[in-house]
Amino acid sequence: MELGTVMEKCLNVTSDRINFGPSENGAVTVTVAAVVQPNRLQYTNGGAPTVTLESDDEAWRGQSRAWLQAAQTRFANDPKNIQLQTDWVRALMRNGRFGEALFAAQNLAEATPENFTSLELLAQAAAINSKPSISSAALEALVVANPWADEWRLQAARAYSALGDEGRACSHLRALWEGGLKTDAATATTLRCRYRWAGERETLLAALEPIDAQGPEVQRFLSEMLNGAVGPPQLKGAAASVFSIVVRCENPKIECPMPAVLNPLGRVFSPLVPMASWSGAEPFSIGIDLGGMYYLLLTGGDASARGVVDVSILDTSKRFAFHRGGTIQTIARAQLE
């Protein structure tokens, strides 16, 4: 059931504006700009959400017109309200109007260049439109605006890693470690960066003795270093994922499309805009806590790309085929309740 449609259920609805239309034969039409919040999923007491996962096409776009119209009305009545501008951009994305959403997000970010929400929204809109330079620039701006917030550096590092820019990813990872994030995993990640990008093999060997005093991730790095085969930084999330996606192209030599997930509130998740502590790029995975309809999309890639998408949500897994790239395309939808 889509947000913005008539629901034959009891809902928690809030409204701060009621508009009365002109009188017709003693009656008036009342338009309420309502915000409907999806339910939180329940994972406690041995329970788990119900998942319905199936293929989909582009027919869903525009099905949330009531939500879009309400957001547009509220925004038009108070155009300088940042929250209402944000609601408008998310409503555009939830209706599949991604190009308009990017334009609106760019205008919002230009008007409020240091606002956290505006920059995050711009990164999401750019990601779904396959504009990695705009998305990464927005994440960098978030880091600059929030130099004390580790989560933005971690998101930027994961985004650069997804783009194959290991050097920039490492600059953020080393900054995290130097700023006080000294866990075994963070230390191992920083050491990989130092080895692969600064050529500090002998220095690292001397600094890390005795080897058996190190944590398991650092020991794994040392083993790889001694064998001369150090892998890239490990950027998987610490928590178990709920939603996992792997995209495989038939031709490994071409650019494969990138996955993206659109949640019930119009928020986009992709390797370019990962959740700070939950997501990894290979496979792309996120944790989710809202009930409702999720859309799985592919964006960008080579126009000739063909392949499959493996999707897992809790205990439900399916494979979907795709036959083109270079565009925004819907692959599947998932209802969680």
What are the strands, taking DSSP E only, across the chain?
13-14, 18-20, 30-32, 35-36, 51-55, 243-249, 258-262, 268-269, 280-281, 284-286, 292-299, 307-313, 316-322, 329-336
Over 70: is that where the pLDDT of 232 sits? yes
Write down the pTM of the prediction.
0.78
DSSP helix/strand/coil, 46: coil
**Residue 268 or 1, more confident:** 268
Highest averaged pLDDT of the listed ranges 65-74, 206-215, 230-239, 295-304: 295-304
Mean pLDDT of the chain: 80
Alpha carbon distances (Å) from 332 to 267, 309, 312: 17, 10, 12
Question: CB-based contacts of 43: which residues, under 8 Å, 6+ apart?
Answer: 49
Q: Kindly report, residue by residue over 108-146, the tens digit of the pLDDT.
A: 999 998 888 999 999 999 999 999 999 999 999 988 888
**Residue 75 or 238, more confident:** 75
Please give the pLDDT value at position 91: 93
Alpha carbons 242 and 48: distance in angstroms, whole number: 11
Strand partners, 292: 336
